[in-house]
Amino acid sequence: MSHTRVWFVTGASRGLGRAFTEAALANGDRVIAAARNVEPLDRLAEAHPGRLVPLALDVTDRRAVFTGVEQAVAAFGRLDIVVNNAGAMLYGMVEEATEEQIRAHLDVNFFGAVWVAQAVVPHLRAQGGGRILQVTSMGSGVGMATVGFYGAGKAALDSVSEALAMEVAGFGIEVTILQMGGYNTGLFTTGMTTTEPMSEYRDLRSEMEQMWGDDVSPEPSTVVPTLLELVALPDPPRRLIVGSESFGHVLAMEQSRIDDYLKWEHLSRLAPG
């Protein structure tokens, strides 16, 4: 990659996307900052003339994504680091969610990231390489009550990203899955859609809300040192847990799953194949 890198960041107007955008600019790089509403980026663009291009983009619109990526490449001539960060939260029990809510949620969290990947790969391949960072979740490996569809979208993105990484490795394109911990991104406020609560789940909902707690999550800017070190690595990891506490939680969840597999090994081995 050239010394001055070009970033393409989705969901760049707030949260992690905003933190990634500001970090890239502070590092001397150039950024195409994509978001549905780019107005919050106005002052940042004024402070970095010629180095930040706000791009109004709805990632659920596949045609608009391909057009937007073409505009991004035209702006700076290339793309070096693509951050698939745009996302939202659907909060509620599986039974409560409407078809419209489920489809709208996955359109953003899964299909939107797929459209961006499909649009950028030809450009990265043509220029001989690049990086794609797929923002998923530390909880994508396990389903949790009230956030089942969020986990489902992130798990699907995890799986597709593993496949994508294998497919594009021969073109010099590196894919890293960022399993993010909990940060103060606005995901549970401005980025959240809530189902209509059913009385049958009242006790469980209360239990889950107590489990989530009221602790203040770290600011997205605290991720910046990890991000900048990651994109500087010549041989980046395929998957990275982001967050000290999250690292411990993920390892515990993985070990619990292994323990459960071993507990029922005798039953598994009764079947051939």
Please answer whether residues 17 and 42 qualify as being in contact, where contact means their C-beta atoms are separated by less than 8 angstroms.
no
Please answer whether residues 17 and 186 qualify as being in contact, where contact means their C-beta atoms are separated by less than 8 angstroms.
no
Rounded distance between C-alpha atoms, residue 204 and residue 51, angstroms = 49
Alpha carbon of residue 244 to chain centroid: 18
Please answer whether residues 224 and 23 qualify as being in contact, where contact means their C-beta atoms are separated by less than 8 angstroms.
yes
Q: Which residues contact 161 (CB under 8 A, 6 or more apart)?
A: 132, 134, 136, 175, 177
Strand partners, 31: 7, 52
Element (H, E) at 25: helix 15-26
- Which are the catalytic amino acids? 150
Rounded distance between C-alpha atoms, residue 137 and residue 150, angstroms = 9
Rounded distance between C-alpha atoms, residue 3 and residue 252, angstroms = 39
